[in-house]
Amino acid sequence: MAFPIKDTSTIRADDGPVTVKGWVQDIRNLGGISFLIVRDRHGTVQVTAPKKKVDAEVFARLASLPRESAVSISGEVKPSDQTELGLELIPQALEVLSEAATPLPLGVVDKVNVEFDTRLNNRPMDLRRPEVRTVFELKSLLRHLLDEAMAVEGFTEIHTPKIVASGAEGGATLFEVGYFGRSSYLAQSPQLYKQMVMSSGLDRVYEIAPAFRAEKSNTVRHVSEFLSFDGEMAWIDSQRDIMDVMERVMQHTIAGIKDKGARQLELLEKEVELPKAPYPVLTYSQCLDMLNSEGMELAEGEDLGTEGERLIGELMSDKGNDMYWIMEYPAEEKPFYIMEKEGTPYSHSFDLDYRGQEISSGGQREHRYDVLLKRMEDKGLDPVSFNDYLEAFRYGMPPHGGWGIGVERLLVKMLDLGNIREAILFPRDMHRLAP
C-alpha cells in the first residue's frame, strides 16, 4: 500500500495512513511500548509503537535504531492529547534509509555546549539543529529581498570575473593563483568591472557574489571568503543619490526579514527593528570629535578602528539610531578610484554603519580620466597594469558611484550573532580550509 508522504508541518490528526521521512531524534523503549521522535526540517512527530499492535520485526528494529538515523516510517495517524502536535503515528512499516554511526560527533538537541570548531568540523550535523539552520533560511530570504529591492530601483544584475589580472584594493590582500603559466588573483571585489560597465549604457548594475581577501585577521568579523553585495550607478549628481538608493534598499530588506522571516525570528528568539529613516549623517571629523570627547585621543587621518566604531554605535543608539552614515573620510586613506573633495584633504566617500559596525563602504568615483590617472600615480600604482580598466574612461565616462555591502555582516548585525562564521555555511579564514 502506498501511503501519501507528509512532512511534519502538514500532518493532521485525521489524515489516516501517511509516510513520514526524517531523522530519529530520540527513542524511549519501555518494554511493552516504544516511542520515537522523528524530525524533519519543519519539526517533529511522535511515533508510538505498542508492542502488541505493531509487527514484531518493525518493533524490534525501531527499538534498536541509533539516534540521527535517516528513516521512512509509514503508519496510521491518530489523535493524541499526550503530544505537542495533538497526534501520533502508529507504525506499520519502517525503512531505514541510512543508519547513523555511533557515537555522534555532536548532539543535535542535546543541551551540552560544543566547541565552535567542533561544530564547524561537523557542519552538516550542526545544520540539523533548527536554530543553526534557520540562520541560513534567513540568509536566503535576505538574498531574495535584495533582488526585489534592486529590481524596484531599476538595477540590472551582472556577473563579473572572479579570476582577475589585478586587484582593486592593492596587492597586500590578494590571493594569487596560477593561470596557464601566468599570475592571476581571486577578486577582492567587482569594483573595477562594475565601473567599466558604467560607460556601457548599463547605468545601474549590481552583483551578489563571493569576494576574497587575504587578510591575516583572526577576529569574529573577518573571513577570507564572503558574500558581497555591490552596486554601481551612473549619471549621479552627488554621492547622496547613491545613499538614497541604499537607504530604500536597506529599509525594504530589513522590513522583509521582519515580516516574511517572522517564523524563523521567533524560533531564534530574535527581534529585528526597522531603522529610523532617513539615516543620520556624521562626517569623519565629527566622529573624531565624538571619540576624542570620550577620551580616545585620535589624530586627524587616523582610522576610527573597531573600538571607535563600537563607541560611535553606542552614542548613536542612545539617540535611537541603529543605522547611520559616516562621510568624508581622508582621501589619503581611500582607494584611488574614490573622488577627492576638491580643496580639502577629504573624499566623496561614505560608510554605512549598523549598530556600531561598518557593513558597507562606498562613494562617488573619479570619472575624469586625467584626474584618475594622477590619483593612481599618487598612490604608487602603475597605470599600465590597469590599462583595460582605464580604457573605459577615455571615451565619455559619466559621473558615477556605488557601494559594497558584506551580506554576512549585515545578517550578523541584524540577528545579533556573535561571529560572522555563524552566517557562512563553510567558513574560510587563516586557519580553516576544510571542510
Residues 382-409: pLDDT tens digits? 999 899 999 999 999 999 999 999 999 9
CATH of 5-98, one of 2.40.50.140, 1.10.10.10, 1.25.40.80, 3.40.50.720: 2.40.50.140
The sign of the CA dihedral 206, 193, 241, 201 is negative
Query: What's the whole-model pTM score?
Result: 0.93
Q: Are 362 and 403 in contact (CB under 8 A)?
A: yes
Query: Rounded to the nearest 5 degrees, what angle is found at the Cα of 230, between the Cα atoms of 225 and 236?
Result: 155
In the chain, the amino acid numbered 149 is: A
Q: Are 339 and 363 in contact (CB under 8 A)?
A: yes
| Interval 289-326: pLDDT, tens | 999 999 998 999 999 999 999 999 999 999 999 999 99
pLDDT band at 340 (very low <50, low <70, confident <90, very high): very high
Note the pLDDT of residue 171: 62
Dig out the grid coordinates for 287 from the structure.
566622529
Stretch(es) of the chain classified as CATH 2.40.50.140:
5-98
Measure the CA–CA gap between 177 and 431, rounded to whole angstroms: 19
Measure the CA–CA gap between 212 and 279, rounded to whole angstroms: 29
pLDDT band at 169 (very low <50, low <70, confident <90, very high): low
Residue 261 makes CB contacts below 8 A (sequence gap 6+) with: 137, 138, 141, 272
Catalytic positions: 213, 215, 221-222, 358, 361, 409
Stretch(es) of the chain classified as CATH 3.30.930.10:
124-423
Whole-Å CA distances, 5 to 16, 72, 91 = 12, 9, 14
User: What's the CATH class of domain 124-423?
Assistant: alpha beta
| Interval 241-264: pLDDT, tens | 999 999 999 999 999 999 999 999
Long-range Cβ contact pairs of 124-133 (< 8 A, separation 24 or more) = 125/68, 127/425, 128/23, 128/39, 128/68, 130/267, 131/267, 131/268, 132/422, 133/41
